[in-house]
Amino acid sequence: MENKSISNKIIEFIFSDDYRKYLILFIIIGGILRYLLVNSISFLGDEMVHGPHAINILSTNKIGTMVQSTLWFYLTDISYHIFGVTAFASRFLSFFFGILSIIAIYLVAKELFSKKVAIIASFLLAISPFTIRYTLIEMDIAMMFFVLLALYFFIKELKKDRLSYLAAFFLGIAALIKSIALFFALGFGIAYIYYKYKTAENKKEILKVKDWKQGIKFILIILLIFSPIIIYNVLLYQDKGVVDVMFAKFLNINKEMYSGQLGYDEGFSIINLFVGAFNMIKNAFLILDPIILLLGILGIILIYINKQNILWKELIVIIMIVPFLIQSGSALLTTHFVSYIPLLAIFASSSLVFIEEKIKHQYKNILLISLVIIFILNIFFIPLGEPLINSLTTKSANIQMRDYAITNIENNAIVFVDSRTYRGRIAWIFNDKFYLESGLLGDFNNNLDKMGGNNESAPAYFIECAIDDCGWGTVTNDAFNQSMEGVSDFFKQNAQLVGTLYGGGGYNEITGVPYYNIYKTEVVIKPGIYEYVQSTHDWFYYPLRYLKDSYDDYKIHGFMYRIIDLIGHIILYFAIIISILTPIYLIYLLKKDNEEAEQKDFIINKEVVKNNINYKKYIIYLILILIIFASFGFYIYNINRTTMINQCESIGLNLYHYGTGEVYCLNNTDNSFRAFYYIGEGLKYKVTKEMPLHDEWRSGLT
């Protein structure tokens, strides 16, 4: 047989019926869009908490952190070591695993529907504005990749009437990246019980002995992989009597660790569930990804119209809804909900294929035209109010500032940064420089006067926040702002303006407006001043770059606890290796999947749905449940909004922002803020805490 050249093989592949050629195209499109965004878009607040914490964490040998699970930080630090501390390196995990999720969703959707639905689902995910927009310094997209991989094995093995231990393994990895993946694990468990109920011949004996054994092993595997976080909290509590923020929040231990920081003073709450779900659908999904949301809901309804394989699709709905409801009642940050987009994309894709099948005889190429329109809408018009194109075509001043620090600021320079710049941004941008917040300029001079040693000259920079508020969101024309203006005036008179960086990248930066002014001069210092400057580099529980002891460094008491700590480290480093190798395994799965016999739809091993079921009745029930749920959420939202308006007016202020767990009141006279935190009591809220909002943010405790 004649050996074909690589070029001939490529040409044959392009003109073949192999669906993978489209998958490759969508991966390229999704990769380009994500690459443009990670190097351009402005930073959200939490990015500048997590980004600095990952820097040099490999040197600490930690198995846990106070705010999030550990694995993401280690993998991001590996990225820092490869690419340097840049926007791309910081967001690399979201970028990389976001691209891999396009492949993973293809595999999952093919198991549920057909190759056609799978390839369209991968396209929708590749161009999803919500997913692209949140390709950030966050854990959720990397976590979701491993949840999708777990889902693939879960469905594949369940068709053989058994639990997949690989699914449990990857769920454990997901939880080690971000602990809220355990909510998905609960969804998997409920879905399994539902499957056993629907397929059981005797409804009184749903789970047999072998099912219990499989279930227990499934849970133990997840807990084993997640055990470094458990061990970290056990040892930390034994030594210092505290646990991390997530454990404190959900176990109600040392409540002061999370009170006010996460928006409200309680863990899961039924009242927050209704209001939270309503808020997230209205303010996140409907704004950031309305097409996938609406088509996804339609796809769920169509489960009962298109009679094929209903059970398996219902399992995905369960796995999606259970963690969504838990998160809606406990953790309400938009980034936490991006992980539901891939699952919605599967149902959205099935909607498009269903519609095409119904009207393709009247409208040829309707599916292709629809996908082109969706692409244009997603890039140029969505998210509503701030289209994605704005963030793809301009560059954040903060990213420009980091690039400038790398290439232009000398290693021995003293960098004074305007305190009106969010502390997390300062820490990330100037992490490898001798920076000092301008509010500490007086302390700097006092320490310098007390030091011995010879005088020497060093370059000095002042980074002015030209817009008066670079990330805090609460700086007003108050004494603090006036003080910083005085510092800025001093440097304007005694230093040379060497650069101006202009806003871009969307979010809170106005394109083309001066954002940072950079001034340069020379200062007389003494060698010991560098140590003082370095001592000020603390941020949100941890010293920057971990150059000194951390708040959560615990002592191990006893031989047994030392063994437990060792086990935690072994599992963590094993998880790091597996996470790095998993992409190779994913490519193998894709290759293996293509070699299997091609089928449009898989065959269900057990027939569980009879043809005489009244599907219209179930559709009506589903619609009624959604209406009731939305109405109740809207009702609670409004009665408590009225309560919070009254709360603000009682102190002579106006309502500025009302979110689940927090309300900001604005003083129109001096533009100052007050923050109230509250919890649910019955159907109403009770205020638990009040403080000046900007003072809290400046302390680094939000």
Q: What secondary structure, in 3-state letters, does 276-287 show?
A: HHHHHHHHHHHH
Q: Which of 173-187, 528-542, 681-695 has the lowest mean pLDDT?
A: 681-695
Confidence of residue 252 (pLDDT cuts 50, 70, 90): low
**What is the pLDDT, as a whole number, of residue 601?**
40
CA distance 37 to 134: 9
The average confidence (pLDDT) of the chain is 85
Helix-then-strand count for the chain, H and E: 28, 11
At 390 the pLDDT is 86
What does the pLDDT read at residue 677? 67
pLDDT of residue 608: 39
Between 309 and 112, the more confident residue is 112
Dig out the tokens for 553 from the structure. Answer: 């460094």
* Judgement on whether residues 565 and 646 belong to the same structural domain of the protein: no
**pLDDT tens-digit series, residues 353-396:** 999 988 877 777 889 999 999 999 999 998 887 899 988 889 99
Tokens read off for 669:
């006279």
Instruction: Flag whether 502 is in a domain.
Output: yes
My answer on whether 532 and 468 are in the same domain is yes
Kindly state whether residue 300 falls inside one of the protein's structural domains.
Answer: yes
The pLDDT, as a whole number, for residue 171 is: 97
User: How many separate domains does the chain show?
Assistant: 3
pTM, to two decimals: 0.86
pLDDT at residue 469 above 80?
yes
Higher pLDDT, 207 or 467: 467
**139 with 98: CB under 8 angstroms?**
no
CA 587, 589, 592, 593 torsion: positive or negative?
Answer: negative
Q: Cα separation of 62 and 51, whole Å?
A: 16
589-624, pLDDT tens digit by residue? 988 876 664 444 443 334 334 444 454 555 566 566
**447 and 421 in contact (C-beta within 8 Å)?**
no
Could you tell me the residue range of the domain that residue 457 belongs to? Answer: 397-546
- Mapped onto helix, strand or coil, the DSSP state of residue 655 is strand
pLDDT band at 310 (very low <50, low <70, confident <90, very high): confident
* pLDDT surpassing 60 at residue 527: yes
- Looking at the structure, tell me whether residues 481 and 568 fall in a common domain: no
Residue 621 domain-assigned (yes or no)? no
Same domain? 324 vs 457? no
610 belongs to a structural domain: no
- The domain boundary residue, chosen from 546, 575, 606: 546
Whether 622 maps to a domain, the answer reads: no
Q: Please report the pLDDT score of residue 616 as a whole number.
A: 55
Specify whether 500 is located in the same domain as 591. no
pLDDT number for residue 597: 40
Does residue 588 share a domain with residue 500?
Answer: no
> In this model, does residue 255 exceed pLDDT 80?
no
On whether both 418 and 295 belong to a single domain, the answer is no
Q: How far apart are CA 629 and CA 626, in angstroms?
A: 5
pLDDT band at 32 (very low <50, low <70, confident <90, very high): very high
Task: Name the band, by pLDDT with cuts 50, 70 and 90, for residue 409.
Answer: very high
User: Is the pLDDT confidence value at 265 over 50?
Assistant: no
The whole-angstrom separation of Cα 651 and Cα 90 is 42
In terms of domains, do 185 and 65 share one? yes
Instruction: Answer whether residue 618 is part of any domain.
Output: no
pLDDT, tens digit (0-9, with 9 covering 90-100), for 423-444: 999 999 999 999 999 999 999 9
Q: Does residue 570 share a domain with residue 478?
A: no
Residue matched to tokens 């992490």: 431
**Residue 7 or residue 92, greater confidence:** 92
Mark whether 574 and 691 lie in a shared domain: no
Q: Are residues 372 and 413 in the same domain?
A: no
Same domain, 538 and 682: no
Q: Is 662 domain-assigned?
A: yes
Q: What is the pLDDT of residue 88?
A: 97
